[in-house]
Amino acid sequence: MWSYRNPVDVRFGRGSFSRLSDAIGGRRYALVTYGEPYFRTLSAELEAKAGKPVLVIDDIAPNPDIAQLEPQTARFAGLGAEPEVVVALGGGSVIDSAKVFAAARGDFAVMDAYLKKRAGAETISPWPLIAVPTTAGTGSEVTCWGTVWDNAGGVKFSLAHLGLYPELSLVDPDLMLGKPRDLTIQTGLDALSHSLESLWNRSANPVSMAHAIAAARGVLATLPLLADDLRNPALRERMARAATLAGFAFSNTKTAIAHSLSYPITLRHGVPHGIACSFSLPMIIRSVAGEGGICAEGLKAIFGEEARAAADGLTTFLSKLGVATDYRHYGIDDAEWRELIDIAFDGERGQNFIGKKESILAAADTNEKLRMTVA
């Protein structure tokens, strides 16, 4: 038996940002965004149509951290009237932060207890959300979870609650035009990882597989072209579509072993999330060679080859984008790599993985042999 559910109303297309004021519909709204001039221009355009927000949070940092989220959440507590909807306008860090604010409703202690599993889902009643992504990769605009970091404690938390599915996602590729090359590649590879991670997953189902296949094909065909033509509206639209479909894929499965590996790599070594969760993908594909079912069917549909050849092709793809697949490139030695694999399998996302630790270790050895051959 399998099931698939995603309740997010998605409006996709160039110029769809202009519909945001209609979606707010006269409700009191809080705006979560970035403070850069581009976003201030978008915020002013929104305010001219929808009225002034009751609160603007625009000091969002990459990888939102508890140390910053707590004082930001406190700003909601001082409002005379609470928002009726929270609008997230930005990349994954903005949308994840907005989910924290919506769930906390001005009381970060409630959020902290929920993240650290001292309290159950019944303690959370989030404000409604509208998500407007400005990068193609996060998928957070169509999922009910987000990522919260605690750099001081050296841990990462997954925020998950059915009330955190946005009521509406407006995906406007025009908002993504001209994004820097590095950010474009990083977010695009995050989307690729989302799609592949939903295949080697204990919660995989035929609908998530269909989304994953379309998404991965889209990223593989589009990202190299877009990386060299950043202001191409047609390529931005194709990339945005692929990222949204990847979001639909993992919105039902969550991620798996590559993401579980990535979190300590980002915490310890500062590797951007999109790179940290994608450079190990060829190794993981090698490790699932011989696995059947949706994993094998999906990988075959994406790459047109069996797993080992697909892994070689993906290694070449990543290399052409300037992404190394050798963990040493990121400051990780052999002992730490084995430790990270152990940690990954113990993590919540690692437990979604259908493969075996021995197969991952064997695939890591294969990667090393290939590296030595090339060297």
Domain map (residue ranges) of the chain: 9-174, 181-374
- Please, which pLDDT band fits residue 64 given cuts at 50, 70 and 90? very high
What is residue 307's predicted lDDT score, i.e. its pLDDT?
A: 87
In degrees and rounded to multiples of 5, residue 132 shows phi and psi of -125, 90
Q: What is residue 127's DSSP assignment?
A: P
Select from 97, 129, 99, 96 the least CA-distant residue to 29.
129
The Cα–Cα gap between 30 and 14 comes to 24
Q: Report the C-alpha gap between 144 and 200 in whole angstroms.
A: 21
Q: What is the DSSP code (8-state) at residue 151? A: T
Asked whether the predicted pLDDT for residue 54 surpasses 60, the reply is yes
Q: Given a cut of 60, is residue 70 above it in pLDDT?
A: yes
Q: Looking at residue 371, what is its pLDDT?
A: 58
pLDDT above 90 as % of the chain? 94
Q: Which fold has domain 9-174?
A: Rossmann fold (3.40.50)
Please answer whether residues 53 and 31 qualify as being in contact, where contact means their C-beta atoms are separated by less than 8 angstroms.
yes
Q: Which fold has domain 181-374?
A: Dehydroquinate synthase-like, alpha domain (1.20.1090)
Whether 9-174 shares its CATH topology with 181-374 is answered no
Q: Would you say residue 374 has pLDDT above 60? A: no
pLDDT band per the 50, 70, 90 thresholds, residue 366: confident
Quote the DSSP letter at residue 128: P
Between 331 and 368, the more confident residue is 331
DSSP secondary structure, 24-50, as one string = HTT--EEEE-B-SHHHHHHHHHHHHHH
Measure the CA angle with vertex 165, ends 124 and 60; round to 5°: 80
- Residue 214, sorted as left (phi over 0), alpha (psi -120 to 50) or beta, turns out to be alpha
* Cα(65)–Cα(157) distance, integer angstroms: 10
pLDDT value for 367: 64
Residue 158 has pLDDT above 60, yes or no: yes
Indicate the pLDDT class of residue 369, thresholds 50, 70 and 90.
Answer: low
Give strand ranges (E) for the chain. 9-12, 29-32, 55-57, 85-90, 129-133, 145-150, 155-160, 168-171
| Range with the poorest average pLDDT among 91-95, 227-231, 340-344, 363-367 | 363-367
Say whether pLDDT at 223 is over 70. yes
pTM comes to 0.95
CA separation for the pair 372, 375 (Å, rounded): 5
Average pLDDT, stretch 238-266?
Answer: 97
Q: What are the beta bridge partners of residue 29?
A: 85
Average pLDDT, integer, range 135-140: 96
- pLDDT tens digit sequence for 92-136: 999 999 999 999 999 999 999 999 999 999 999 999 999 999 999
pLDDT of residue 364: 87
Neighbours of 303 (CB within 10 A): 20
- Inter-CA distances, 150 with 4, 147, 268, Å: 32, 10, 12
Q: Phi and psi of 128, rounded to 5°?
A: -60, 155
Q: What is the pLDDT of residue 373?
A: 57
Which long-range contacts does 227-230 make (Cβ < 8 Å, 24+ apart)?
Answer: 227/181, 227/184, 227/185, 227/321, 230/177, 230/178, 230/179, 230/180, 230/181, 230/184
**Longest Cα separation, the chain:** 66
- In the prediction, which pLDDT does 305 show? 87
pLDDT, mean over the chain: 95
